[in-house]
């Protein structure tokens, strides 16, 4: 596939770029600072330095690709942020102008509680802990999801749980339009694998897909 990856210098993005290249995909990595992308990936991928909230700056990067994957996330901790929503609006606008269709967006499973969650997670952990501690980041992600759903593109929203930095398990579980039972963590390496799988999965279009270990 020809992939355009946003958030390519982040913890998930670096793994995603590397896995895609290792799998033979053609990758365009859109970054603000190319120096933050490991040297071997800079050499193997096409690197575009751009402001991710400027649609005009992104149009060439998404033109002609088979799928756009965005793993952009906030680095503001618990502070107010709009980076996910703003970048998603720009990406959607750029894709519309370029005629690109397939969009896969990383969000978070903590945004809501519902089917698939155990009672403790559904009624305590998510609404009373996670959604309070991470209220600004989650508000940003919710706004980004609304942009995606209204985009008219062939979208998939991917909701992982807490991400870990260790070696991947080499597998993951997924649930469509519901949560993964007992899915509390996922290695970033396995999230990268899931994103590539879902980008090529037409049955995932128009759905929110939870992924977890």
Q: What is the DSSP string of 37-97?
A: S-HHHHHHSEEEE--TT-HHHHHHHHTT-SEEEE-----STTS---HHHHHHHHHHHHHHH
Looking at residue 116, its pLDDT comes to 95
Residue 6 — left, alpha, or beta (φ > 0 → left; ψ -120 to 50 → alpha)? beta
pTM over 0.85: yes
Going from the first residue of the chain to its last (213 residues), give the mean pLDDT of each consecutive group of 10, the final group possibly shorter.
97 97 97 94 96 96 98 81 96 98 97 94 93 94 98 98 92 97 96 98 98 97
Q: With pLDDT > 90 as the criterion, what percentage of the chain qualifies?
A: 95
CATH dotted code for 2-212: 3.40.50.720
Looking at residue 165, its pLDDT comes to 93
Residue 29 — left, alpha, or beta (φ > 0 → left; ψ -120 to 50 → alpha)? beta
Domain ranges of the chain: 2-212
Looking at residue 147, its pLDDT comes to 98
Looking at residue 73, its pLDDT comes to 87
Looking at residue 109, its pLDDT comes to 96
| Structure tokens that stand for 15 in this block | 């793994």
Looking at residue 79, its pLDDT comes to 84
| Structure tokens that stand for 85 in this block | 């929503």
């Amino acid at each position: 596939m020809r992939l355009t990856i946003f958030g390519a210098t982040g913890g998930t993005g670096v793994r995603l770029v590397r896995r895609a290249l290792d799998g033979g995909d053609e990758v365009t990595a859109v970054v603000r600072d190319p120096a933050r992308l490991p040297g071997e990936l800079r050499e193997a991928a096409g690197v575009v330095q751009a402001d991710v909230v400027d649609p005009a700056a992104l149009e060439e990067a998404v033109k002609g690709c088979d799928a756009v994957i965005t793993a952009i996330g906030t680095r503001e901790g618990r502070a107010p942020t709009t980076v996910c929503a703003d970048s998603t609006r720009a990406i959607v606008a750029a894709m519309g102008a370029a005629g690109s269709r397939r969009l896969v967006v990383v969000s978070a499973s903590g945004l809501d509680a519902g089917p698939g969650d155990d009672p403790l997670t559904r009624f305590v952990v998510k609404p009373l802990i996670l959604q309070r501690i991470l209220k600004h980041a989650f508000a940003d992600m919710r706004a980004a999801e609304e942009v995606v759903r209204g985009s008219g593109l062939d979208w998939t929203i991917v909701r992982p749980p807490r991400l870990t930095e260790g070696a991947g398990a080499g597998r993951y579980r997924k649930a469509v339009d519901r949560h993964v039972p007992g899915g509390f963590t996922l290695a970033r390496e396995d999230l990268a694998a899931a994103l590539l799988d879902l980008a090529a999965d037409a049955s995932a279009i128009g759905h929110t897909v939870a992924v977890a270990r």
